[in-house]
Every structure is written in C-alpha cells, then in structure tokens.
C-alpha cells in the first residue's frame, strides 16, 4: 500500500466516522421522538402537535452545555481540530472530542482492515460490520439502546453476504445467527428466574445474532467469553472502584463490539483456530 492509497483510505475513514458521529447524535433523538409519537397516538386523537415534530434529518447538532448550534464545518471533528475550532463558540467547552474519537477509530479500522485483507469484497463486508458495531457501541454507551433499524438490516446483510461465501458459508451463517440469539435468550431467561429481573436486553440478543450471521457460529464462543469478561471487569470497577450498586446498567453492545474486533485480529495472527 503506497502513501497515496493510505491517504485516500484515511480520508474515507474520517468522512465515514463523521457520518457515524452525526448518526450517534441524531438517531437516538429520532427514536425517542418516534416513541413519543406512538404513545400519543395511542393515548390521544389530536395529531396537530405530533406532525410538527422534527425528523432526525432536521435535527441540528448543538453544544451539550449551552445549546449553541454547530457550524457545518464542526460536523467533521478532524477538520475542526485542524482549524482550531474544537471549542464551542458560545461557552468555550470542548464538544468535538467524541466525534474526534469516532473519526479516529473509523479511520483506524479502514486502514487496518484494508492492510490485512486488501481492497476486496471481504474487506468491504468487515468494514460494514465494524462501522455498524462502532455506531451501535456509541449509542448503547450513551443511551443504553440497540436500535432495530441498525441491527435487523445488519443481520440480513450478513446472511446475504455469506450466501456468496464472502466470510463464511451460508450454513455456518444461519447456524451462527440461531446460536447467537438462542444463547443470550436462554441466558436471559435463566437470569430472570434466578434474580427476578431482566438482565439482558432484546437488542443485545439481536446483535449477537447479527454477529453470528456475519462471522458464523464458531467465533461466537470467543466473542461471548471476551464480552462477558469485559462486562465483569466493568462491574468490578464500578462496584469496588466507584462504590456503585451492583445492579448497574452495562452497554453490552460495546463489549460485544470490542470482542469482535479482538476476534478479527487474533484470527488474523493465528492465535486461535477458525
């Protein structure tokens, strides 16, 4: 890979990360507004106020401290860094750090995937998977939701891609989707019987099914073990480090996403069997 290809891939990764960053802000607002609309349609018959709510594409990003709207250039955090405009114009607080981190991770994933696999269809599949996981991880970290509008298309795209054998064969993909959902569903049922309350969200079940549809059934063993280990470590830090209650919410989609990235590079280094 020459320098020009590296720069073009890095630029593509930054633009991709900028789009993902905007979705992490706008998509939860759209989901919450949609929930409110559904509740009001169920409770009330007056639709005048409901139809006036903005859609997700009409919502502009603003400062979390003073509600000052971002300029269009600030939507790309790396460009804001180059121009020295990471701070809000109104309150002078840093607001683009989250976007800068997402763009850095997206750029790194694009370069690492293409350097390991080249520019081909399997690399495109991994890019779609990792970009979706990055988006879901950030949304789950901040809002504790795993949107169906991302997970369900991701599941079907994985099954369609593996129909052509781009990552694994179709039988392994179908088995992976079935095993992924069934394992977390059974774990959630057992947890509710033992503890008396929900311990795993339905979105996490669908996400593991989507991961199984892309990667197959065999990597799920390592992915689940790694994600659970990260979750246990997070609980230990929260309970003993910050003296919080043991009944805390955990963004399990974040841990699953990290485990999938670990699995990709460990498999590439032949540290585990496929």
Angle subtended at Cα 22 by Cα 21 and Cα 24, rounded to the nearest 5 degrees: 65
- Under DSSP, the state recorded for 178 is H
Residue at 136 is within a domain = no
Query: Is residue 111 located within the same domain as residue 173?
Result: no
Query: Is residue 8 located within the same domain as residue 100?
Result: yes
Which tokens go with 8?
Answer: 């073009």
Q: Is 65's pLDDT higher than 80? A: no
Share of the chain above pLDDT 90, in %: 51
269 pLDDT band (50/70/90 cuts)? low
Query: Is residue 111 located within the same domain as residue 146?
Result: no
- Residue 202's Cβ-count burial label (10 Å; 0-12, 13-18, 19+) is middle
Which tokens go with 103?
Answer: 């763009």
Residue at 260 is within a domain = yes
Distances from the Cα of 158 to the Cα of 152, 154, 163, 273, angstroms = 10, 6, 9, 21
Query: Is residue 187 located within the same domain as residue 80?
Result: no
Residue at 131 is within a domain = no
265 pLDDT band (50/70/90 cuts)? confident
User: Tens of pLDDT along 179-201?
Assistant: 999 999 999 999 888 888 888 88
- The predicted pLDDT at position 61 comes to 65
- Residue 201's Cβ-count burial label (10 Å; 0-12, 13-18, 19+) is buried
Query: Is residue 209 located within the same domain as residue 162?
Result: yes
Segment 260-271 mean pLDDT: 76
Whether pTM exceeds 0.85: yes
Q: Which domain holds residue 197?
A: 142-274
Q: Is 202's pLDDT higher than 70? A: yes
Task: Please indicate whether residue 33 or residue 85 has the higher confidence score (pLDDT).
Answer: 33
Query: Is residue 83 located within the same domain as residue 9?
Result: yes
- The predicted pLDDT at position 97 comes to 78
Query: Is residue 273 located within the same domain as residue 170?
Result: yes
Residue at 134 is within a domain = no
Query: Is residue 158 located within the same domain as residue 207?
Result: yes
Residue at 124 is within a domain = no
Residue at 125 is within a domain = no
Which tokens go with 6?
Answer: 């590296």
Query: Is residue 92 located within the same domain as residue 149?
Result: no
CA–CA dist 244, 236 (Å, integer): 10
Place of tokens 């280990």: 229
The structural domain count of the chain equals 2
Query: Is residue 8 located within the same domain as residue 69?
Result: yes
């Amino acid at each position: 890979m020459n320098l020009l290809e590296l720069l073009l891939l890095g630029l593509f990764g930054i633009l991709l990360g900028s789009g993902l960053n905007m979705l992490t802000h706008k998509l939860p607002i759209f989901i919450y507004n949609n929930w409110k609309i559904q509740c009001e349609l169920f409770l009330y018959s007056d639709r005048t106020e409901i139809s006036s709510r903005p859609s997700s594409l009409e919502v502009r990003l603003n400062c979390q401290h003073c509600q000052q709207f971002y300029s269009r250039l600030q939507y790309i955090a790396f460009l804001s860094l180059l121009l020295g405009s990471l701070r809000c114009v109104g309150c002078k607080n840093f607001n683009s750090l989250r976007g800068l981190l997402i763009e850095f991770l997206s750029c790194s994933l694009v370069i690492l995937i293409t350097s390991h696999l080249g520019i081909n269809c399997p690399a495109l599949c991994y890019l779609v998977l990792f970009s979706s996981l990055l988006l879901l991880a950030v949304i789950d970290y901040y809002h504790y939701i795993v949107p169906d509008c991302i997970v369900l298309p991701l599941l079907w795209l994985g099954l369609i891609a593996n129909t052509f054998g781009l990552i694994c064969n179709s039988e392994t993909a179908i088995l992976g989707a079935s095993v992924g959902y069934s394992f977390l569903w059974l774990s959630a049922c057992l947890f509710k019987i033992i503890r008396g309350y929900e311990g795993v969200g339905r979105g996490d079940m669908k996400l593991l099914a989507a991961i199984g549809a892309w990667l197959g059934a065999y990597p799920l063993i390592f992915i689940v073990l790694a994600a659970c280990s990260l979750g246990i470590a997070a609980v230990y830090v929260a309970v003993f480090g910050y003296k919080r209650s043991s009944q805390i919410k955990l963004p399990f989609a974040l841990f699953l996403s990290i485990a999938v990235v670990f699995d990709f590079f460990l498999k590439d280094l032949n540290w585990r069997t496929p």
